[in-house]
Structure 1
Amino acid sequence: MRSWLYIPDIRNVGKSEADALVVDLERAGDPARVRSWIETVGRPAVWARITNDEPGRRAVRAVVSPALTGICVAAESANELAALATVLAEAEEAVGLPVGRIAVIPRLESAAAVLQAAEIARAPRVARLQLAEGPLIRRLRVEPGRDEHELLWARSMVVIGGAAASLEPPIAASCPAGTDCEPSTEVLRRLGFRGRTCLDEDQVRIANKVFANASALA
């Protein structure tokens, strides 16, 4: 899974080369309409991004279906994900899915989350970790330079935490729209990431190219 394309508006989704689509439930509108879209989009991997609060949990109950691969959600502890696993189990039973079918990708977007990366990686249903650098940069008041060395420690913590739990390699954050993403994507590949979130099809093509021949972590 090299490229994960964010979908803020399901009305504007066209043909994509992305390996996975991530629909943002906070911005996409009526969850019932989103569920219908997920069931008809015809893609092998569709994920829903939710908020880690009661509205987010209500939304996830509404979109769980056999066509949904999993949930992306901000998390700062394994306990939060254990609570979400209970909600998902109830939603799975309601639509006749085996309990445990819907996977979870925790978004690590705070200092607390990065420090807890290894514990979060061992929480129920977690398939891999995702580093959300935008929120993390704002909270840490970091000012990354062109080489982004200021983010090296956080990125390495996420790679190590996921590997310690024998997860699939983590997903890297998207680069700013309109910038040349290939150099930073190469750096992330060398650090151990094996996929990247994308904002548009140009970023999808770069992610697919850079991660195409990257070997998985042992």
Structure 2
Amino acid sequence: MNPALIFLYVPGDRPERFDKAAGSDTDAIVLDLEDAVPLAGKDSARIAVGEWLASPDRAGVPAWVRVNPGPELLDDLTMAVRAGADGVWLPKVDDAATLDRVDGLLTELEAEFGGPRTPVSPLIETGAGLCNAVSIAAGPRVAFVQIGEVDLAADLGVSPVVGNELLWARSQVVAASAAAKIRPPLAAASPDIEDVDGYEVETRQLIGLGFFGRACIHPRQIAPARAGMTPAESEVAAARDVLSAFDAAGGAAATDSAGRLIDEAVARIARRTLARQST
């Protein structure tokens, strides 16, 4: 089965949206207890998310929880493990020590509630986090890394002008993920939910930079995000041709039907192309 490509955010204080989001064309949902929920609503949102996650009738798409990084962290993690969340999104990770601390907390909670090992996706949202991207990507439980682009831009003092102001930051996180030998980073959501054509184009550009999949903050973004990451039929055909020739050669250097040299690196690119097909 292909890994989840589309992750749809759902505000944790809007339980009437949970089932609808899970039943959409997304591959996974992210129940957000952080930015989407005002301080006064944190407790009630945590209860609502926990009840929905623990319900035997909830839809089968993977459901992750974006927890709060502050005083609510332990309560959020406790709820996520007890209710059976598929993973945790951890905001504002500045260093690997944060991941070590969360790993310890999750280990204790999993022992207490008998749950499976909970994967974590850290969000890099500050200059400090960006400078520590390599150690963060290599941290315990990390499934994939993300950039909180709005927060990072604010911390760096970046003002969008031509659209590539965060190119260096994005490439840093892609390289850090490759060095850690984990899944490539998930492309960040965009606050613009009206420009669907632009969202598709931007998604395709981000995939070209080395990202894999995309977060969405509105169901309207799902279709253009999926279109932007789905390879064209010609790309799929070429990838299959590469892998067929490579496999026929027993994994040794070979040539495809067009006479181009194939080695393991070319085969890896082909496998990744096929992995971007719609799930």
TM-score, structure 2 normalization: 0.72
| Shift, 1:139, TM fit | 1.3
Q: Deviations over 1:115-138 (max 9, x none)?
A: 111100111100010011010111
1:21 corresponds in structure 2 to 29
| Shift, 1:66, TM fit | 6.5
What amino acid does structure 1 have at the position aligned with 2:65?
Answer: A
Distance in 1 of aligned mates of 2:24 and 2:186: 19
**Contact 1:48 1:72 (C-alpha < 8 Å) held by counterparts:** yes
Query: Which of these two proteins has the greater Rg computed from alpha carbons?
Result: 2
TM-score, structure 1 normalization: 0.91
1:205 corresponds in structure 2 to 223
Number of equivalent positions: 214
Higher relative contact order (CA 8 A, sep 6+): 1
Unaligned residue ranges in structure 2 (runs of 5+) = 232-271
Change (3 A) 1:157 1:171: same
Distance in 2 of aligned mates of 1:138 and 1:19: 30
1:94 corresponds in structure 2 to 112
| Shift, 1:211, TM fit | 2.0
1:130 corresponds in structure 2 to 146
Distance in 2 of aligned mates of 1:104 and 1:110: 18
* Percent of paired sites with the same residue: 32
Distance in 2 of aligned mates of 1:10 and 1:107: 24
Map 1:1-218; keep pairs closer than 5 Å: 1-8=4-11, 9-13=14-18, 14=20, 15-26=23-34, 27=37, 29-40=44-55, 41-65=58-82, 67-74=84-91, 75-98=93-116, 101-146=117-162, 148-175=163-190, 176-179=192-195, 180-213=198-231, 215=273
Distance in 2 of aligned mates of 1:60 and 1:10: 19
> In structure 1, the residue corresponding to 2:183 is in which secondary structure?
coil
| Shift, 1:30, TM fit | 3.9
> In structure 2, the residue corresponding to 1:193 is in which secondary structure?
coil
Change (3 A) 1:128 1:84: same
Q: Deviations over 1:124-168 (max 9, x none)?
A: 10001001101011111211224x211110000010001100010
| Shift, 1:94, TM fit | 1.7
> In structure 2, the residue corresponding to 1:149 is in which secondary structure?
coil
**Contact 1:35 1:64 (C-alpha < 8 Å) held by counterparts:** no
What amino acid does structure 2 have at the position aligned with 1:38?
Answer: L
**Residues 116-125 or 17-26, more deviating:** 17-26
Higher helix proportion (structure 1 or 2): 2
Distance in 1 of aligned mates of 2:214 and 2:15: 20
Q: Deviations over 1:53-110 (max 9, x none)?
A: 2312222112214731111012110001100111111111121124xx1000000001
Distance in 1 of aligned mates of 2:217 and 2:79: 25
Cα RMSD for the two superposed structures: 1.8
